[in-house]
């Protein structure tokens, strides 16, 4: 059992060990959909939602697998559950809120291959978080992901018309910006102590 306080878990997941900028999880959507603030916010929302749901599922799976004595199937179970959770969430949102579905729609399938979701499930298991701790961890990670994505999009919108040398392609410039963001996030270290 881990005795870390909820506040400390939250601050650490969102700021100190930001999933994108410190753990490099979810870099693909980070570089892919961070060109506009509006899309970045929606993507962040979708990821946060799926993170919360799959974190709860991962907690349940871990305990079930331990109970029936097949811990080695954990990875396969996580992946299968995340993929089907995304499908379920998609159907669910479509049913209850078509507006939300239109906003998140195209991002949901992308999330299945988002390593941040699987990473969250693996980390919370490794750290031995309890149920409540896991939820707070997922919430923090989701907010941290959204924050990084929106900050990045804000910077990239400003850079769009900037003149750059030929060799600096948009991927290269995005990665440099991410490096600088990652440096600034280091300033948060020590907050969660």
Partner 1 sequence: MNVAPATPTWPMYRTLVGIGMLCGLMIAVTFQGTRPVIERNRAEALERAVFAVLPAAIARATFALTAEGQFVPDTNATGQRVHAGFDADGQLVGVAIEAAGMGYADTITVLYGYSPLQEAIVGIRVLTSKETPGLGDKIETDEAFLENFVALDVRLDASGTSLQHRIETVKQGKKTEPWQIDGITGATISSVAIGDILAKSAERWVPTINEHLDRLSAGGQDDGT
Partner 2 sequence: MTARNRQPVMATDEFIKGLWRENPVFVQVLGMCPVLAVSNTALNALAMGLATTFVMLMSNLLVSTLRNFIPKQVRIATYILIIATFVTIVDYAIEAISLDLHKSLGAFISLIVVNCLILGRAEAFASKNRVGHAVLDALGMGIGFTLALLCLGGVREVLGDGALFGVALFPDAFEPWIVMILPSGGFFTLAGWLLVINFIKQRKEANAAGAQEITG
Task: Tell me how far apart the alpha carbons of residues 122 and 1 are, in angstroms, rounded to a whole number.
Answer: 16
CA angle 60, 30, 136 (to 5 degrees): 35
- Identify the residue among 12, 34, 39, 54 touching partner 1 (CB under 8 A): 12
Q: Which two tokens stand for residue 57?
A: 């599922």
Mention every residue, 6+ apart, whose C-beta is less than 8 A from residue 104.
42, 45, 46, 49, 93
- Identify the residue among 72, 95, 160, 163 touching partner 1 (CB under 8 A): 72
- Identify the residue among 3, 67, 171, 193 touching partner 2 (CB under 8 A): 171
- Identify the residue among 60, 64, 180, 191 touching partner 2 (CB under 8 A): 180
* Shortest CB 58 distance to partner 1, Å: 19
Stretch that binds partner 1, among 11-19, 48-56, 110-118, 153-161 (CB under 8 A): 11-19
Task: Tell me how far apart the alpha carbons of residues 48 and 3 are, in angstroms, rounded to a whole number.
Answer: 24
Q: Is 21 in the site for partner 2 (CB under 8 A)?
A: yes
Residue 113 interacts with which of partner 1, partner 2, none, CB < 5 to 8 Å by class:
partner 2
Q: Is 63 in the site for partner 1 (CB under 8 A)?
A: no
- A 10 A CB-CB count for 183 gives 10
Instruction: List binders of partner 2 among 108-167 (CB under 8 A).
Output: 113-115, 118-119, 122-123, 126, 166-167
Q: Is 106 in the site for partner 1 (CB under 8 A)?
A: no
What's the number of CA atoms in the CB half-sphere (13 Å) around residue 100?
A: 13
Task: CB nearer to partner 2: give 60 or 176.
Answer: 176
Task: Tell me how far apart the alpha carbons of residues 6 and 29 are, in angstroms, rounded to a whole number.
Answer: 28
Binding mask 75-104 for partner 1 (x = CB under 8 A): -x----------------------------
- Cβ-in-10-Å burial (0-12, 13-18, 19+) of 98 comes to exposed
Q: Considering only CA atoms, which of 109, 100, 114 is closest in space to residue 45?
A: 100
Q: Is 29 in the site for partner 1 (CB under 8 A)?
A: no
Q: Is 173 in the site for partner 1 (CB under 8 A)?
A: no
């Amino acid at each position: 059992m881990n005795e870390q306080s909820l506040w400390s878990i939250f601050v650490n997941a969102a700021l100190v060990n930001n999933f994108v900028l410190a753990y490099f999880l979810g870099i693909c959507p980070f570089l892919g959909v961070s060109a506009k603030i509006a899309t970045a916010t929606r993507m962040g929302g979708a990821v946060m939602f799926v993170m919360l749901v799959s974190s709860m599922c991962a907690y349940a799976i871990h305990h079930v697998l331990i109970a029936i004595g097949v811990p080695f199937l954990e990875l396969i179970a996580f992946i299968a559950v995340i993929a089907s959770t995304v499908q379920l969430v998609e159907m669910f949102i479509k049913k209850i809120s078509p507006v939300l579905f239109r906003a998140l729609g195209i991002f949901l399938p992308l999330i299945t291959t988002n390593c941040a979701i699987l990473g969250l499930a693996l980390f919370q298991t490794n750290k031995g978080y309890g149920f409540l701790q896991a939820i707070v961890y997922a919430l923090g990670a989701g907010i941290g992901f959204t924050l990084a994505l929106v900050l990045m999009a804000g910077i990239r919108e400003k850079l769009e018309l900037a003149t750059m040398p030929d060799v600096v392609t948009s991927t290269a410039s995005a990665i440099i910006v991410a490096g600088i963001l990652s440096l600034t996030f280091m300033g948060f270290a020590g907050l969660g102590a």
